[in-house]
Amino acid sequence: MSINSSDQNEFNESSINIQSFLTFLVAITVGLFIAVIVLPLWMPNMAFSLGGDAPKAYWYLSRATAFVALSLLWLSMALGLGITNKMARLWPGAPAAFALHEYVSLLGLAFAIFHAIVILGDHYINFTLLQVFIPFSTVDYRPFWVGIGQLGFYTWAILALSFYIRPAIGQKSWRFLHYGSFAMYLMGIFHGIFSGTDTSAGWAQNYYWYSAGSLLFLLMYRILAATIDKYFPEKKQIPAPAPRPTQ
């Protein structure tokens, strides 16, 4: 992925070009197809878990990538809140946080696509391709909560692509659209809690609590920082770091 380090960017342009992102998606898909062709020859035992009458591997892959997608969404949200509550100025710096925020969001979206598509291989859930993409259509498996995940996925796709049309739609509309990320995170986490198999496990419950709790903390901090900025503007300036002594 090419990341522009231009400080002139002022966060108005996408720092990752769309061709790089599409190349990344194509590489994942090609890699998957190659694995499907090569695995049976190379590792017959492992290939058996991908084939046979009741392959489990797809289900495990979907569950594992579900948590990777949600974690990347968490990281992207944390970085975004870090930019607005100004914590990111201290580390890793606002331009780096912005580039990472965008990159991590696109990466998470790629994992979410994989999470949704790979479940097609699971014979127990038995979704069709259309059911994977049409919200609330998975009639035999928790249609409401899977539907919420599907809506979250589309919201995520719109928000990720909005990085590329930001100059066209203007800063105000982009910012308004960006508030949708809070709804998107809530959709993702509730979808995970209410449609996931792992929700009954202690580690998964801890994971959900820490994920939501830490974002809530950053959000509260952001609201507090904005309130202080508004009512005590003289405290707004963060002192510049002391210059390094010259030898």
Note whether 211 binds ligand HEM by CB under 6 A. Answer: no
Note whether 227 binds ligand HEM by CB under 6 A. Answer: no
Of 18-57, binders to ligand HEM (CB under 6 A) are none
State the Cα–Cα distance between residues 127 and 138, nearest whole angstrom: 7
Nearer to ligand HEM, 103 or 153 (CB): 153
Other beta carbons within 10 angstroms of residue 22's beta carbon come to 10
Nearer to ligand HEM, 83 or 119 (CB): 119
Of 83-112, binders to ligand HEM (CB under 6 A) are 112
Other beta carbons within 10 angstroms of residue 183's beta carbon come to 13
Nearer to ligand HEM, 82 or 149 (CB): 149
Note whether 80 binds ligand HEM by CB under 6 A. Answer: no
State the Cα–Cα distance between residues 161 and 174, nearest whole angstrom: 11
Note whether 126 binds ligand HEM by CB under 6 A. Answer: no
- Cis peptide preceding 92, ω within 30 of 0: yes
Residues 58-77, one symbol each (x = binds ligand HEM by CB under 6 A, - = not), give ----xx--xx-xx--x----
Note whether 197 binds ligand HEM by CB under 6 A. Answer: yes
Burial of 111 (0-12, 13-18, 19+ CB in 10 A): buried
**Selection from 90, 118, 104, 133 nearest residue 239 by Cα:** 90
Query: CB under 6 A: which stretch of 99-107, 142-150, 167-175, 223-231 binds ligand HEM?
Result: 142-150
State the Cα–Cα distance between residues 94 and 90, nearest whole angstrom: 8
**Selection from 64, 85, 66, 86 nearest residue 74 by Cα:** 66
State the Cα–Cα distance between residues 100 and 161, nearest whole angstrom: 15
Q: Are 109 and 118 in contact (CB under 8 A)?
A: no
Give the nearest distance from C-beta 200 to ligand HEM in angstroms: 9
Give the nearest distance from C-beta 156 to ligand HEM in angstroms: 6
Both tokens assigned to 226: 């904005």
Of 162-191, binders to ligand HEM (CB under 6 A) are 188, 191
Note whether 196 binds ligand HEM by CB under 6 A. Answer: yes
- The residues binding ligand HEM (CB under 6 A) are 62-63, 66-67, 69-70, 73, 112, 115-116, 119, 125, 132, 141, 146, 149-150, 152-153, 156, 188, 191-192, 195-199, 204
